[in-house]
């Protein structure tokens, strides 16, 4: 299986349980890797793959409209979007709040899952 990756995607989202997190969006950093059909490389046709520009656009639009209490829930939402709307067979997502606490660069979650719902334990 081939993969597409998107690294250090910065998006604004409303996520958190603390009052300071509920009043304004904060910047999140997403790193995504997702599987694409082998046909994409074989036929050299955009219709045979997942258009990463559309994935980025859709994530930005969706996260701008919602509030999540937990970053875990936000991450699961993005993974479900890649499965349901884009047909990805496998997704790896790292999502982090940036500079949310003193002396901490990032706080976040890491999710890897196949379409069948099974977690995949490759942390590279």
CATH number at residue 74: 3.30.1130.10
Quick one: pLDDT band at residue 46, thresholds 50, 70, 90?
confident
Q: Is residue 122 part of a domain?
A: no
pLDDT at 110: 95
Helix (H, G, I), strand (E, B) or coil at 31: strand
Assigned domain for 67 exists: yes
What's the confidence (pLDDT) of residue 120?
63
Closest CA to 59 of 47, 49, 50: 50
Q: Decide if 119 is inside a domain.
A: no
Residues 42-58, mean pLDDT to the nearest whole number = 91
Residue 64: phi and psi, rounded to 5, are -70, -20
Determine the Cα–Cα distance for residues 44 and 62; give it in Å rounded to an integer.
29
* Mean pLDDT to the nearest integer, 47-72: 95
Domain of residue 8, residue span: 2-114
Q: Residue 119's pLDDT band (boundaries 50, 70, 90)?
A: low
Q: What is the number of domains present in the chain?
A: 1
Q: Is 13 inside any structural domain?
A: yes
Domain presence at residue 102: yes
């Amino acid at each position: 299986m081939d993969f597409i990756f998107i690294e250090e995607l910065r998006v604004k989202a409303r996520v958190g349980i603390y009052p300071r997190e509920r009043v304004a969006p904060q910047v999140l950093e997403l790193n995504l890797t997702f599987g694409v059909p082998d046909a994409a490389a074989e036929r050299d046709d955009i219709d045979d793959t997942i258009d990463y520009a559309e994935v980025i656009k859709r994530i930005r639009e969706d996260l701008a409209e919602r509030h999540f209490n937990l970053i875990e829930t936000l991450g699961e939402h993005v993974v479900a979007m890649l499965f349901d709307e884009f047909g990805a067979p496998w997704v790896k997502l790292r999502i982090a709040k940036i500079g949310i606490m003193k002396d901490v660069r990032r706080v976040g979650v890491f999710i890897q899952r196949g379409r069948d719902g099974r977690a995949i334990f490759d942390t590279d």
